């Protein structure tokens, strides 16, 4: 496009007048999604509509009510007449899709974590790998601290090197404490710094009843967690790092040129259909614990039992929780991965519209027979203001049953939209092509 001479001169004069651009834009308040309840329409929010009308299968979701990943701590009917975990000190059955608690016993009681601690160790390592700071093929040298770590081991020798992947298998399959320490030192630089990373991640995820003091879960009077926090952490792993299941579902793994044979400590992998994780734990102080997850069809459940008196009791009670959950609940799809739910106009952007998608695939689990009762609602502003980052939150989609919100997932911008410079903004104005016209 060629500008007329007088327009070109005026445009050049405006190169340093970026400060005038905001004066030409609508109020910035419309750039952010309103904070009202998901069940009360505001601005461009849609009306409630049956979720059964949506055909895409939901795979992952956030609820985002506490921290960045905490979920609704409500219990959905039906509640069994019998105690599903009579011997456990604490237990939780959670729907992985929405984060709803389907059954609970002392869910927020603070308990010793034992090796269930390694769920957070794996989460921090996976975060580092995703960020590019650590690679699966990196070689890790065993320190004296790793070699001397008691408990379950792969018997690392001082200075022995193994890949991050091999050590991660040792943690996920064999619950090896020395491997956990070696990885922690490699990722965090020092053990104390890695523990700081663990606790920072716990705060970010909204784990309110959790404190870590080491990466392996050895007995410490100052360390604790809760069944609800373990369920939240498990949900984060299976949703945000689903590749972890490739490791936790591995029944056997061999190290050192097949000289060391490891068998998974989670016996449910071979006993209960659909189980593909996650972590066992035991110390004398903590008792026997288990965080288990299983998927059948589109429904994924997480069962956590802490403080059982025996290994058999933890497996039996986790099995009872999962079997009861699958018998009584079904998952309804709400929004699929990458599904474009809206295209919003953008003020001052290099593109005039931005596609809005769910931050993660989203579904909600309800009692069987009530699948058609689920309603959904999208809430978004009427206009976005550039610049926009890819993944920037601009609204949410909520799911409700019986008029009560049970879960929500953020809606985000799919692709970044940079802001136009002042010259091209004026050119658009002269051409009568402002985004809101």
Q: Are residues 267 and 390 in the same domain?
A: no
Is there a catalytic annotation at residue 175? yes
The percent of residues in the chain predicted with pLDDT above 70, rounded, is 78
Q: Are residues 122 and 221 in the same domain?
A: yes
Is there a catalytic annotation at residue 163? no
The mean-pLDDT minimum among 122-126, 133-137, 191-195, 398-402 falls in 398-402
From the candidates 98, 118, 216, 234, give the one annotated as an active-site residue.
118
pLDDT, residue 420, reads 80
User: Which one, of 12, 49, 139, 26, lies nearest residue 398 by Cα?
Assistant: 49
User: Which one, of 363, 408, 73, lies nearest residue 229 by Cα?
Assistant: 73
What is the crossing angle of helices 164-174 and 177-188, to 10°? 140
**CA 100, CA 406: separation in Å to the nearest integer?**
7
Examine residue 45 and state whether it is found in any structural domain, yes or no: yes
What's the token pair of residue 123?
A: 């989460």
Confidence of residue 293 (pLDDT cuts 50, 70, 90): very high
pLDDT, residue 431, reads 59
Examine residue 83 and state whether it is found in any structural domain, yes or no: no
**Is it true that the peptide bond before 198 is cis, omega within 30 degrees of 0?**
no
Return the sign of the alpha-carbon dihedral for residues 280, 286, 288, 292.
Answer: negative
Q: Are residues 263 and 400 in the same domain?
A: no
The DSSP result for 168-181, as a single string, is HHHHHHH--HHHHH
Examine residue 363 and state whether it is found in any structural domain, yes or no: yes
**CA 383, CA 396: separation in Å to the nearest integer?**
15
Q: Are residues 19 and 102 in the same domain?
A: no
Examine residue 76 and state whether it is found in any structural domain, yes or no: no
Is there a catalytic annotation at residue 289? no
C-alpha 426 chain-centroid distance: 43
Examine residue 79 and state whether it is found in any structural domain, yes or no: no
From the candidates 25, 61, 72, 115, give the one annotated as an active-site residue.
115
**CA 102, CA 94: separation in Å to the nearest integer?**
6
C-alpha 359 chain-centroid distance: 10
CATH code of the domain covering residue 421: 2.60.410.10
Q: Are residues 303 and 399 in the same domain?
A: no
> Is residue 58 scored above 60 in pLDDT?
no
Q: Are residues 363 and 281 in the same domain?
A: no
Examine residue 53 and state whether it is found in any structural domain, yes or no: yes
Please state the domain count of the chain: 2
**Selected residue with higher pLDDT from 379 and 61:** 379
Q: Are residues 40 and 166 in the same domain?
A: no
> Is residue 49 scored above 80 in pLDDT?
no
pLDDT, residue 80, reads 67
User: Which one, of 357, 399, 317, 310, lies nearest residue 99 by Cα?
Assistant: 399
Q: Are residues 127 and 11 in the same domain?
A: no
Q: Which of 56-60, 179-183, 383-387 has the highest mean pLDDT?
A: 179-183
CATH code of the domain covering residue 207: 3.40.710.10
**Is it true that the peptide bond before 9 is cis, omega within 30 degrees of 0?**
no
Q: Are residues 193 and 236 in the same domain?
A: yes
Q: Are residues 253 and 183 in the same domain?
A: yes
The mean-pLDDT minimum among 16-25, 132-141, 195-204, 328-337 falls in 16-25
From the candidates 97, 143, 175, 216, give the one annotated as an active-site residue.
175
């Amino acid at each position: 496009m060629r500008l007329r001479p007088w327009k070109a001169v005026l445009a050049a004069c405006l190169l340093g007048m970026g400060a005038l651009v905001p004066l030409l834009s609508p109020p910035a308040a419309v750039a952010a999604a309103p904070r009202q309840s998901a069940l009360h329409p505001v601005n461009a929010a849609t009306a409630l509509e049956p979720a059964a009308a949506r055909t895409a299968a939901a795979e992952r979701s956030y609820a985002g009510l506490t921290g960045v990943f905490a979920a609704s701590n409500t219990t959905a009917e039906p509640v069994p007449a019998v105690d599903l975990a009579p011997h456990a000190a604490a237990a939780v059955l959670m729907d992985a899709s929405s984060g709803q608690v389907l059954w609970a016993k002392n869910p927020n009681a603070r308990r010793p974590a034992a090796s269930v601690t390694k769920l957070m160790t794996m989460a921090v390592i996976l975060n580092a790998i995703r960020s590019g700071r650590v690679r699966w093929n990196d070689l890790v040298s065993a320190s004296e601290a790793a070699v001397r770590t008691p408990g379950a081991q792969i018997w690392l020798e001082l200075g022995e090197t193994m890949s991050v992947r091999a050590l991660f298998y040792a943690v996920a399959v064999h619950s090896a404490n020395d491997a956990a320490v070696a990885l922690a030192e490699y990722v965090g630089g020092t053990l104390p710094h890695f523990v700081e990373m663990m606790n920072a991640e716990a705060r970010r995820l909204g784990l309110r009843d959790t404190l870590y003091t080491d990466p392996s879960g050895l007995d410490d009077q100052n360390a604790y967690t809760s069944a609800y926090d373990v369920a939240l952490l498990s949900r984060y792993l299976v949703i945000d790092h689903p590749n972890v299941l490739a490791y936790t579902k591995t029944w056997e793994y061999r190290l050192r040129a097949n000289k060391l044979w490891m068998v998974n400590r989670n016996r449910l992998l071979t006993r209960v259909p659909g189980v593909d994780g996650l972590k066992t734990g035991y110390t004398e102080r903590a008792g026997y614990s288990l965080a288990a997850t299983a998927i059948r069809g589109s429904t994924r459940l997480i069962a956590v039992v802490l403080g059982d008196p025996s290994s058999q009791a933890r497996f039996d009670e986790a099995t009872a929780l999962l079997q009861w959950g699958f018998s009584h609940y079904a998952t309804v799809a709400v929004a699929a991965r990458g599904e474009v739910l809206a295209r919003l106009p953008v003020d001052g952007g290099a593109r005039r519209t931005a596609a809005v998608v769910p931050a993660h695939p989203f579904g909600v689990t309800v009692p069987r027979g009530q699948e058609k009762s689920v309603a959904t609602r999208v809430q978004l502003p009427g206009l976005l203001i550039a610049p926009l980052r890819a993944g920037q939150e601009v609204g949410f989609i909520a799911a409700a049953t019986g008029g009560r919100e049970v879960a929500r997932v953020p809606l985000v911008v799919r692709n970044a939209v940079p802001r136009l410079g002042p010259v091209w903004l004026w050119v658009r104005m002269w051409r009568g092509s402002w985004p809101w016209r």
